[in-house]
Amino acid sequence: MGARQHDPGWPSMVQRRDGRSAPFDPERIETAIGRAARETGHPDTAVAAKVTRAVADELGRRAPGRPVTVEQIQDVVETQLSAAGFDDIARAYIIFRQQRAELRTAKRLLGVRDELKLSLAAVTVLGERYLLRDDRGRPAESTGEMMDRVAAFVAGAEDAYRAGSSAQWTERFSALLRGLQFLPNSPTLMNAGTPLGLLSGCVVLPLEDSLRSIFTTLGHTAEIHQAGGGTGYAFSQLRPAGEAVGSGGRASGPVPFLRLFDTAAEVVQLGGRRRGACMAVLDVSHPDIFDFIAAKSGTPAGLSHFNLSVGVTDAFMRAVARGGRHRLVNPRTGRIVSEVPAVEVFSAICEAAHRCGDPGLLFLDAINRANPMPDAGRIEATNPCGEVPLLPYESCNLGSVNLAQMNRGGRVDWDRLTEVVELGVRFLDDVIDVNAYPFPELDEASRATRKIGLGVMGLAELLATLGIPYDSAQGVRLAGRIAGHIQRTAHTVSARLAETRGAFPAFGRSRFAGTVPMRHAQLTSIAPTGTISLIAGTTAGIEPMFAIAYTRAILGRHLLEVNPYFDRLTRDRGLYHDELFTEIAQRGVVRGYHRIPAEIQSAFPTAGEIAPEWHLRMQAAVQRHVDAAVSKTVNLPAAATVDDVRVIYRGAWRAKVKGITVYRYGSREGQVLSFASPEPGVPHVDTSFAGGCVNRVCEF
């Protein structure tokens, strides 16, 4: 717009639809016209600039010295485009305007005020589960007000440290959240400033070999699930089925108790706001290991609230490789019950994973080599999706940086990434202080080590915007570089916070003792991000895209959704036509689609197109720069074999990741992304689908 951007004859203010006022910004008009122009094959930026000047001049004549409304601006844009002879651009602009109007109408039907301009799917989930409600059950806050509530409550911790007022940090945190550059885990969004008060995403709870311990943990589980948190357990200490007990009866073994916990999760869910998510781990040496392996793939199946993982050691994996034998040991007595070929156990694991996606593997030795508190005990369990191995009663306090917003001019904006990481670490540190733990053991364990899990979402979208294929050496290298930058920055911030706030209380007993004091025993973790990536409008965690276009059932209609960046790119490149997205939805993919240029095809692979070794290479590259673990799924086509699973599981151990999960398309009923029919077919997703939770129960 040049020197005329501040022409005194133009309006100075715009009245928004929500009643608020904002400065008149002609660049926003020019951007909208430019996008419609490019969509219709007019790449010349002078067109948009010329029409925008005409629009601003006309608005100034119609409302001299008075604010203009958004609707008035859009009406004038249409008339000026037509007057200038750009009827095709006007039609594209009108269609876009109609689509936005339909979206606003749908949000009103949901009763949600959305000044953040989120997707309809995001608003649907927020309205159902996250926004505060009035006495009549209607949403009582807008999407932006939710972010403000969370920011203000968390920033309340700042007053205790005299590092600026909480009001100053509220403003900074709110801008961060409203900008969708960083979001905390779901319980923080749900519960901050409410009577529930639990902000942690999940906890690991102990299970000892006694009814008192089991049912105490079951009660604690109900409290955690009621507040929206997830739970993880090691069932490895429970005596095997059939062993005599003091009452004269026989022990049930871990699997029946596992089903008890699953039933309890279902009951609590019926009165709660979100699905209970749990992780059950059993050591590979437990005598009931074969029953555990088959618990979700045999009859009866069920366990819909649980993910299963077998805890394996390096010794077990070496025995598999050399054809050795494996001992099954009674955990109560320490006696060897039997010896079996290690490969027999491993094959049972791979066959079950091929059938239904469970169990995954946890590599316990790799996990414990990174255990920051080895004197406190051996880590045996993780949170529901495996990204945070924890000791009993420790909690996950998670948040994720939106990498999709870290592209500046076709390059990673490292400075902005640093700023967001610094704010994210501080935010999560404050979360620990304002968190309301439902029982004292959680409070004590969480404060002793102050573990946080700063992760990412939007990696696949960032790579696509940079034109880098996810399944390429360049993509893997960049992902590792980003993870390393985040880890280094987070550790620097933690050391800086320790100078003013003190090191975590257990620092002197940690493996860091004698080094630079740290505020946190653990800082980084890669979560699946579930609903927070849906809210942010980006891809989940470090997962690839699962489909470029799909339909989602909302408000009784099947609405076609397209990856937002792919949508913008095709319109900006003049590739858009009315049937484009329907044709892509029929295919589910763009690779091999002749109407899309090769470089765009390359940058938009879907999970099913990516060879398993690239999934694993990506996970391993990121894991090398992550304190905790990485939640990542190796997606397999329906035709994949059990041998394919064997190769992946053994490769994961050699790659030194901390856990591994596979999912073969179609191997589980009710998966949240599915095709309506055999090829070709339109992918359908459920309301909550965000691209990262196809196979497992994961955090919403």
CB of 400 within 8 A of CB of 182? Answer: yes
Residue 137 lies in a domain: no
What CATH number did the domain enclosing 336 receive?
3.20.70.20
Which one of 343, 366, 382 terminates a domain? 382
Find out whether the peptide bond into 359 is cis, omega within 30 degrees of 0. yes
Q: What is the predicted pLDDT for the residue at 8?
A: 80
Quick one: how far is CA 476 from the chain centroid?
A: 19
pLDDT band at 7 (very low <50, low <70, confident <90, very high): confident
Same domain, 263 and 319: yes
- E strand or H helix at 23, and its extent? strand 21-23
Asked whether the predicted pLDDT for residue 685 surpasses 90, the reply is no
Using only the alpha carbons of the chain, give its radius of gyration: 27
Highest mean pLDDT among 77-91, 100-114, 385-399: 385-399
Q: What is the pLDDT of residues 269-321, one digit of tens each?
A: 755 566 679 999 999 999 999 999 999 986 555 798 999 999 999 999 999 99
User: What three-state secondary structure class fits 20?
Assistant: coil
> Which amino acid type is present at position 662?
V
Q: What are the backbone dihedrals phi and psi of residue 457, each rounded to the nearest 5 degrees, phi first? A: -140, 165
Active site residues: 383, 385, 387
Same domain, 66 and 165: no
CB of 631 within 8 A of CB of 527? Answer: yes
Q: Output the average pLDDT for the chain.
A: 90
Q: Domain count for the chain, please give it.
A: 4
Residue 190 lies in a domain: no
Question: What does the pLDDT average to over 80-108?
Answer: 88
Asked whether the predicted pLDDT for residue 675 surpasses 70, the reply is no
Q: What is the predicted pLDDT for the residue at 47?
A: 86
Q: What is the predicted pLDDT for the residue at 549?
A: 82
Lowest-pLDDT range of 50-59, 424-433, 444-453, 578-587: 578-587
Q: What is the predicted pLDDT for the residue at 673?
A: 56
b/e code 515-530 from CB counts within 10 Å (16+ = b): eebbbbbbbbbbbbbb
Q: What is the predicted pLDDT for the residue at 20?
A: 82
Q: Report the 10 Å Cβ neighbour count for 392.
A: 22
Same domain, 242 and 257: yes
Long-range contacts from 28-36, C-beta under 8 angstroms, 24+ separation? 29/55, 29/56, 29/73, 29/77, 30/1, 32/77, 32/93, 32/96, 33/77, 33/81, 33/89, 33/93, 35/96, 35/568, 35/571, 35/572, 36/89, 36/90, 36/92, 36/93, 36/96
pLDDT band at 394 (very low <50, low <70, confident <90, very high): very high
Question: What does the pLDDT average to over 325-350?
Answer: 97
Same domain, 223 and 364: yes
Axis crossing angle, helix 612-623 with helix 642-654, rounded to the nearest 10: 20
CB of 628 within 8 A of CB of 520? Answer: no
Residue 433 lies in a domain: yes
Say which residue, 584 or 224, is predicted with more confidence.
224
Instruction: Output the CA–CA distances (angstroms, integers) from residue 212 to 215, 246, 308, 474, 547, in the order listed.
Output: 5, 14, 24, 53, 47
Lowest-pLDDT range of 564-573, 582-591, 627-636: 582-591
Tokens representing 245 are: 């007990």
Q: What is the predicted pLDDT for the residue at 3?
A: 38
pLDDT band at 2 (very low <50, low <70, confident <90, very high): very low
pLDDT band at 63 (very low <50, low <70, confident <90, very high): confident
Same domain, 393 and 348: no
Same domain, 219 and 71: no
Angle at 387 between CA 510 and CA 118, to 5 degrees: 125
Asked whether the predicted pLDDT for residue 246 surpasses 90, the reply is no
* H helix runs in 253-370, sequence order: 254-270, 289-293, 314-322, 342-356, 364-369
* H helix runs in 271-382, sequence order: 289-293, 314-322, 342-356, 364-369
Q: What is the predicted pLDDT for the residue at 302?
A: 77
In percent, the amount of the chain with pLDDT more than 90 equals 70
Q: What is the predicted pLDDT for the residue at 383?
A: 96
Question: What does the pLDDT average to over 392-413?
Answer: 97
Residue 677 lies in a domain: no
- E strand or H helix at 412, and its extent? strand 411-412
From the list 421, 444, 202, 196, the residue with the least C-alpha distance to 305 is: 202
Torsion 156-158-160-162 (CA) sign: negative
Which one of 84, 102, 120 terminates a domain? 102
Say which residue, 348 or 266, is predicted with more confidence.
348
Sheet of 683-685: strand order equals 557-562, 549-554, 683-685, 673-675
Question: What does the pLDDT average to over 53-65?
Answer: 88
Q: Which domain holds residue 369?
A: 202-382
Angle at 348 between CA 623 and CA 639, to 5 degrees: 75
Tokens representing 522 are: 């653990």
Q: What is the predicted pLDDT for the residue at 619?
A: 98
Half-sphere exposure of 139 (CA within 13 A, CB side): 24
Which one of 382, 415, 437 terminates a domain? 382
Asked whether the predicted pLDDT for residue 680 surpasses 90, the reply is no
Residue 58 lies in a domain: yes
Q: What is the pTM of this model?
A: 0.92
Question: What does the pLDDT average to over 394-400?
Answer: 96
Residue 148 lies in a domain: no
Which residues on neighbouring strands pair with residue 312, listed in sequence order?
A: 363
Q: What is the predicted pLDDT for the residue at 692?
A: 57
Q: What is the predicted pLDDT for the residue at 677?
A: 42
Q: Report the 10 Å Cβ neighbour count for 415.
A: 10
Quick one: how far is CA 109 from the chain centroid?
A: 27
Residue 129 lies in a domain: no
Lowest-pLDDT range of 484-498, 535-549, 616-630: 535-549
Same domain, 653 and 584: yes
Instruction: Output the CA–CA distances (angstroms, integers) from residue 91 to 6, 39, 87, in the order listed.
Output: 29, 11, 6
* H helix runs in 323-413, sequence order: 342-356, 364-369
Question: What contacts 163, CB < 8 A, 6 or more positions away?
Answer: 500
pLDDT band at 669 (very low <50, low <70, confident <90, very high): low
Alpha-carbon gap, residue 256 to 300, rounded angstroms: 11
3-state helix, strand, coil in the chain (%, to 5): 45, 15, 40
> Which amino acid type is present at position 467?
G
Q: What is the pLDDT of residues 419-460, one digit of tens each?
A: 999 999 999 999 999 999 999 999 999 999 999 999 999 999
Q: What is the predicted pLDDT for the residue at 671?
A: 54
pLDDT band at 563 (very low <50, low <70, confident <90, very high): confident
Residue-wise DSSP of 376-400:
G----EE-TTSS-EE-TT-EE-EEE
Same domain, 590 and 561: yes
b/e code 446-460 from CB counts within 10 Å (16+ = b): bbbbbbbbbbbbbbb
Alpha-carbon gap, residue 313 to 117, rounded angstroms: 48
Asked whether the predicted pLDDT for residue 672 surpasses 70, the reply is no
Same domain, 297 and 211: yes
Q: What is the predicted pLDDT for the residue at 583?
A: 83
pLDDT band at 493 (very low <50, low <70, confident <90, very high): very high
Lowest-pLDDT range of 76-80, 265-269, 335-339, 687-691: 687-691
Question: What contacts 208, CB < 8 A, 6 or more positions away?
Answer: 214, 237
Residue 113 lies in a domain: no
Q: What is the predicted pLDDT for the residue at 280?
A: 98
Say which residue, 153 or 28, is predicted with more confidence.
153
Question: What does the pLDDT average to over 489-515?
Answer: 97
Alpha-carbon gap, residue 234 to 646, rounded angstroms: 24
Same domain, 358 and 448: no
Alpha-carbon gap, residue 198 to 224, rounded angstroms: 8
Same domain, 238 and 363: yes
Asked whether the predicted pLDDT for residue 179 surpasses 90, the reply is yes
Same domain, 574 and 521: no
Say which residue, 412 or 62, is predicted with more confidence.
412
Q: What is the predicted pLDDT for the residue at 344?
A: 98
Tokens representing 592 are: 């091999």
